[in-house]
Amino acid sequence: MHEMEKTPKIITIIGLVLEGVVTFVVGAASILMLNINKISGLGSAIEADLSNSEYEDLMNMMDFIGYFLLALAVIYGIFFTINFILFRGLMTGKYTEEKAKKIYLYQAIWGGLNLLSNQITGILYLVSGIQGYNGRKDTVKVRDGI
């Protein structure tokens, strides 16, 4: 069974936390955009400053952005779930060396693709995946408790 080194493990945990936060924030932003006219006071304040046609155009644009963000949140949620399952198994030593190497390769590829949308998480996954795939071992042994 494969045992993940501490440095890639910490980097992967930070990446998973950030990926979960991004998924939650994008989902919350989509809900806000889709319900902006129902928020007490805000919808009427926007409507008071705009003509009827401008208000309708704005609400149509908010709906489009809301549905776009909702689709992104669903996609991020699917990948977050997949990553959580795979990387948790990797961190707990559940996989053989061969399967762990494939998961590290996936992690590096997902990190590279993630650079297009979430640079911090992308860099973290890319570094951790490459270190794990190359079999890099932590050279500094720090005593527990320091």
pLDDT of amino acid 20 = 95
Three-state DSSP class for residue 34? helix
> 10 Å Cβ neighbour count for 144?
4
Three-state DSSP class for residue 11? helix
> 29 near 69, Cβ under 8 Å?
yes
pLDDT of amino acid 83 = 92
Q: Which two tokens stand for residue 39?
A: 């928020």
The predicted model scores a pTM of 0.79
pLDDT average per 10 residues of sequence, the chain (146 residues): 82 92 95 82 67 84 94 94 92 88 90 90 90 73 60
pLDDT of amino acid 133 = 85
Query: CA angle, corner 115, sides to 138 and 112, nearest 5?
Result: 60
CA 2 to each of CA 11, 19, 126: distance values in angstroms, whole numbers, following the listed order: 17, 24, 19
How far apart are the C-alpha atoms of 127 and 29, rounded to whole Å? 29
Q: Which two tokens stand for residue 23?
A: 């998924």
pLDDT of amino acid 17 = 95
